[in-house]
C-alpha cells in the first residue's frame, strides 16, 4: 500500500518537475531569440563548459575577450565601430543564454538523483529519462556547432539552416518533455476517443512544424526587412524576385520566397485551425478537451496579428526585438496547445463508450 502511494506521489512530483523544465526550455528559446535579434550569438568565441559559466572578471579579461571577437568576420564587416561597452552588451545575452542552458541541466540532474534515491521513478520512466537527457545533450552540442560555424573571417551570421536545426531541436525537446509530463499527470480516463479529429490535429502539427522551420529561416535571413509590408509583399500579391540566385535554392535561401511561404502557411494553418475548432465543438463529452479546445484558435489569431506586426516593424530594431520575441513565445504556446489536444485525443474507445 505504501509503495503504491509513493508511486502516485512520485509520478505527480516528477510531472511537476518536468513542467518546470518545460518552462525553463521556453525561457531558453526566448533567450535564443533575443540573442539572435541583438546580434549577440558570435560574441563568445570559446566553449568552456565549466569556466565559461563565469563572465570576464576584470577589465583585462574583457579586453582579451573583445580582442578574440575582433578576429571574426562579424566584427570586421559589421561591428567594426564597436566599443568595449557595445561588446559587453552583446556578450551578456550570449553568456546568459549559455548559463541558462547549464542551469536547465542542473534542474534536470539534481532532482533526478533525488527521485531515484526516494524510489519515485518507476522502471517505466528510466528509458524516457535517458532519452530526455540525450536530447538535452544533443541540443547543447548543436548550439555550439552552430556558433562555431560562424567563427571565421568570412561569415557575419550563422547559417539560417543551422539556426533552424538548433531551434527545432529545442522545440523537439520541449515537445518530448511536455508529452512525458502529460503521461504522468493526465489519467487515461480524462482523454477522449476521436480518431478523425486526432488525424486532423496531426496534420496541423505537421504543417506547424514546417511553418516553424520557415519562421527560423525568416529570422536567420532577416527576411522580414526585405518586404516590410502587409497584406502585399512589396505591393505585389505574387512578388517578383522569388527565383534561384547563384549558389542558392529559392525555397530555403531566397528571403522573398521564404517570406511568401511563411505568410501562405500562416493563412492556411489559421483557416484549418478554425475548421478544427468547429469540429471540436461538436464533441459534447465534458472534460479537458471540451473545456480547452478553444486554445489553438485563440492562440493562432494572436500569432497572426503578431506576425503581421513583426513584418511591418522589421526595420525598427527596438520594436522588432520585442515583437519578434513575443511572436516566438506565442508560436511555442500554439505548438504546446496542439500537442496537448493531440494527447487528449488518443484515448481508448472504451472510455468514450463508458
Whether residue 213 has pLDDT greater than 50:
yes
The grid cell for 21 is: 523544465
Are 339 and 332 in contact by the 8 Å Cβ rule? The answer is no
**Which tens digit of pLDDT belongs to each residue from 164-186?**
999 999 999 999 999 999 998 88
Instruction: Please check whether residue 69 is in contact with residue 90, taking contact to mean a CB–CB distance below 8 angstroms.
Output: no
pLDDT at 230 over 60: yes
How confident is residue 142, by pLDDT bands cut at 50, 70 and 90? confident
Q: How confident is the model at residue 351 (pLDDT cuts 50, 70, 90)?
A: very low
Q: What is the pLDDT of residue 208?
A: 97
| Cβ-based neighbour number of residue 67 at 10 Å | 10
pLDDT mean over 51-75: 87
Residue 145 has pLDDT above 60, yes or no: yes
Q: What is the pLDDT of residue 331?
A: 97
The pLDDT score that the predictor gives to residue 232 is 93
pLDDT above 50 (res 297): yes
Residue 75 in this model has a pLDDT that exceeds 70: yes
DSSP character string of 220-261: HHTGGGG---SSSBTTBSS-S--S--TT--HHHH-HHHHHHH
Average pLDDT over residues 278-295: 87
pLDDT, average across residues 176-198 = 89
Tell me if 192 sits within 8 A of 285, measured CB to CB.
Answer: yes
Using the predicted structure, report yes or no on whether residue 352 has a pLDDT greater than 70.
no
3-17, 113-127, 143-157, 164-178: least confidently modelled range? 3-17
Choice among 124-138, 144-158, 191-205, 295-309 with the minimum mean pLDDT: 144-158
> Average pLDDT of 107-126?
84
Q: Write the DSSP symbol of residue 58.
A: S
318's CB contacts (< 8 A; 6+ apart) are none
pLDDT score for 9? 53
pLDDT for position 353: 39
% of residues, the chain, pLDDT over 90: 53
pLDDT at residue 81 greater than cutoff 50: yes
Looking at residue 6, what is its pLDDT? 39
pLDDT (average), residues 271-287: 89
Lowest-confidence pick of 1-5, 300-304, 338-342: 1-5
Give the list of residues 6+ apart from residue 32 with CB closer than 8 angstroms, or none: 97, 166, 167, 170
Please compute the mean of the pLDDT values over residues 316-335 and round it to a whole number: 94
Reading the block at residue 16, the C-alpha cell is 511537476
10-14, 139-143, 327-331 — which is least confidently predicted?
10-14
pLDDT of residue 157: 81
Lowest mean pLDDT: which of 13-17, 152-156, 275-279?
152-156
Region 84-96 average pLDDT: 93
C-alpha cell at 354: 463508458
- pLDDT band of 350, cuts 50, 70, 90: very low
Report the pLDDT value the prediction gives residue 349, as an integer from 0 to 100: 52
Instruction: Judge if the upstream peptide bond of residue 138 is cis by omega within 30 degrees of 0.
Output: no
Q: Are 7 and 122 in contact (CB under 8 A)?
A: yes
Span 289-294, mean pLDDT? 90
Sole residue written with cell 534542474? 107
Amino acid at each position: 500500500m505504501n509503495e503504491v502511494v509513493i508511486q502516485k506521489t512520485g509520478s505527480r512530483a516528477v510531472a511537476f518537475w518536468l513542467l518546470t523544465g518545460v518552462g525553463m526550455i521556453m525561457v531558453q528559446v526566448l533567450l535564443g531569440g533575443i540573442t539572435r535579434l541583438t546580434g549577440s550569438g558570435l560574441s563568445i568565441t570559446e566553449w568552456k563548459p565549466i569556466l565559461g559559466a563565469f563572465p570576464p572578471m576584470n577589465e583585462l579579461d574583457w579586453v582579451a575577450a573583445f580582442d578574440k571577437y575582433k578576429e571574426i568576420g562579424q566584427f570586421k564587416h559589421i561591428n567594426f565601430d564597436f566599443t568595449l561597452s557595445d561588446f559587453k552588451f552583446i556578450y551578456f545575452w550570449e553568456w546568459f543564454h549559455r548559463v541558462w542552458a547549464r542551469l536547465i541541466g542542473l534542474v534536470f540532474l539534481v532532482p533526478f538523483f533525488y527521485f531515484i534515491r526516494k524510489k519515485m521513478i518507476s522502471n517505466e520512466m528510466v528509458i524516457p529519462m535517458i532519452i530526455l537527457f540525450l536530447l538535452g545533450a544533443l541540443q547543447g552540442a548543436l548550439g555550439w556547432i552552430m556558433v562555431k560555424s560562424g567563427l571565421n573571417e568570412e561569415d557575419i551570421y550563422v547559417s539560417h539552416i543551422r539556426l533552424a536545426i538548433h531551434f527545432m531541436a529545442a522545440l523537439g525537446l520541449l515537445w518530448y518533455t511536455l508529452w512525458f509530463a502529460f503521461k504522468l499527470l493526465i489519467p487515461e480516463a480524462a482523454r477522449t476517443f476521436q480518431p478523425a479529429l486526432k488525424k486532423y490535429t496531426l496534420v496541423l502539427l505537421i504543417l506547424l512544424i514546417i511553418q516553424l522551420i520557415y519562421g527560423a529561416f525568416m529570422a536567420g535571413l532577416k527576411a522580414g526587412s526585405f518586404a516590410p509590408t502587409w497584406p502585399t509583399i512589396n505591393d505585389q500579391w505574387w512578388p517578383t524576385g522569388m527565383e534561384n540566385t547563384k549558389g542558392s535554392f529559392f525555397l530555403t535561401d531566397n528571403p522573398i520566397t521564404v517570406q511568401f511561404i511563411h505568410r501562405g502557411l500562416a493563412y492556411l494553418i489559421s483557416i484549418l485551425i478554425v475548421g478544427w475548432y468547429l469540429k471540436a465543438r461538436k464533441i459534447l463529452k465534458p472534460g479537458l478537451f471540451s473545456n480547452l479546445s478553444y486554445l489553438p484558435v485563440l492562440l493562432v489569431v494572436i500569432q497572426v496579428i503578431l506576425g503581421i506586426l513583426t513584418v511591418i516593424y522589421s526595420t525598427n530594431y527596438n520594436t522588432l526585438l520585442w515583437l519578434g520575441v513575443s511572436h516566438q513565445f506565442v508560436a511555442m504556446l500554439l505548438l504546446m496547445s496542439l500537442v496537448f489536444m493531440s494527447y487528449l485525443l488518443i484515448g481508448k474507445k472504451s472510455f468514450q463508450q463508458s
